[in-house]
Amino acid sequence: MCLAIPGRIISIDETIPELKMAKVDFGGIVKPICIQWLDVGIGDYVLAHAGMAISQLDEREAEQTLNDFDTIARSIDN
């Protein structure tokens, strides 16, 4: 089972046309993610698995998911 967390694209690197990459911010942790197969841009939210963006999320859905994760994390701390 895999858990995907929404990440926000903060920059895009198209220097290698066959491998469109993005820096994606996952709550303060920035990772390079391949976005070759999605039509996304800076500011968009994606779900990634094994370094590959597998789907795009709208901002509302992404923020709700992040809020849910925050709620779970706070409940574990108590």
Q: Please state the pTM of the whole predicted model.
A: 0.87
| CATH tag, 7-77 | 2.30.30.140
Q: pLDDT, tens digit, for every residue of 8-48?
A: 999 999 999 899 999 999 989 999 999 999 999 999 999 99
Burial code (b: 16+ CB inside 10 Å, e: under 16) for 9-38 equals beeeeeeeeeebbbbbbbeeeeeebebeeb
Residue 4 pLDDT level (bands cut at 50, 70, 90):
confident
Specify whether the CB–CB gap between 24 and 9 falls below 8 A. yes
- Ordered by start, the domain boundaries in the chain are 7-77
Please report the DSSP string for 33-45 in residue order. EE-TTS---TT-E
